[in-house]
Amino acid sequence: MQFLRPASTLLLGLLLNTPPADAAFPRLQIEVVAEGQIVSPVAIANAGDGSDRLFVVDQRGLIHILNAERMVLPMPFLDIGAKLVVERAGFDERGLLSIAFHPDFSNPDAAGEGKFYVYYSAPTTTPEANHMSVVAEYSISTDDPNLADLDSERILLTIDQPQFNHNGGQLDFGADGFLYISTGDGGGADDNQLGHTGGAAGGRNNRPTDALGNAQDLTNLLGKILRIDVFGNDSPGGEYGIPASNPFAASDGPERDEIFVYGLRNPWRFSFDDGPGGSGDLFVADVGQGRFEEVNISRK
């Protein structure tokens, strides 16, 4: 899939209340909400602080603010373009892919006050890897609520990626207060190149019959939904915590304790059914190979 496309206009689709007489479905109307500055918008989030601001993630490393009047503020909220891997010619699935605000972002008495989290693609020093995915915490500027503090970055997690594609990239907090992170299987075709568990040089035509693949390998973090406690410290490096209710948290085996869901190809986006009367289920959109896309409902 091609995610990096030049685009300077952000569109919002609104369903009209009254359908035309000859149609079984409501008419879809497209309304221009904002234009200019935004090149490759891939995500939109609300901080939940009552300001009615929208934060638009631009894949090329910027986060723009649409204010309550739906004007794009001239100064980006965050600019980490210099941290990103060099853009690939033609199209790229890497970049700045997501933002999630801590549930206590606007609570002055909580550890999560003013904190948000991003997922981006950075260069790696691992020779056999293409890049690494980074999950990082930032704080808002103490001087300007429309600016992030660039010096506040705290890197929670890095994951080496063997190819440029299938990065996943969604972040969101669940009702349990934990951060959920989607990761792709590492890229390539059929999960079967070097850097994939059981993969082979030459790719799909040399696939061993018993190849496990990264998504089914419980000793790595690729092809998964991860769940972590951003303020814990019992992870391998101590940068985050492992929720005790994670499926493999109590295991003494080699399984990674961060894993919440496994067996995914490229879970580019997911969403909780957390509206009024919602089930709380996790809906995961998984990008398919050629003919099919998936939406998986994930329950513990």
pLDDT for 1 equals 32
pLDDT for 87 equals 95
* Residue 189 scores a pLDDT above 50: yes
Domain spans of the chain? 41-298
* Residue 150 scores a pLDDT above 70: yes
pLDDT for 194 equals 85
- State pLDDT tens for residues 97-124: 999 999 999 999 999 999 999 999 999 9
Closest CA to 184 of 175, 195, 176: 195
pLDDT for 151 equals 97
pLDDT for 37 equals 83
For the chain, percent of residues with pLDDT exceeding 90? 73
- State pLDDT tens for residues 263-281: 999 999 999 998 888 888 9
- State pLDDT tens for residues 247-260: 999 999 999 999 99
Average pLDDT over residues 195-215: 80
Average pLDDT over residues 149-164: 97
- State pLDDT tens for residues 48-107: 999 999 999 999 999 999 999 989 999 999 999 999 999 999 999 999 999 999 999 999
pLDDT for 275 equals 84
The CATH fold assigned to 41-298 is Neuraminidase (2.120.10)
pLDDT averaged over every residue in the chain: 89
Full-prediction pTM beyond 0.75? yes
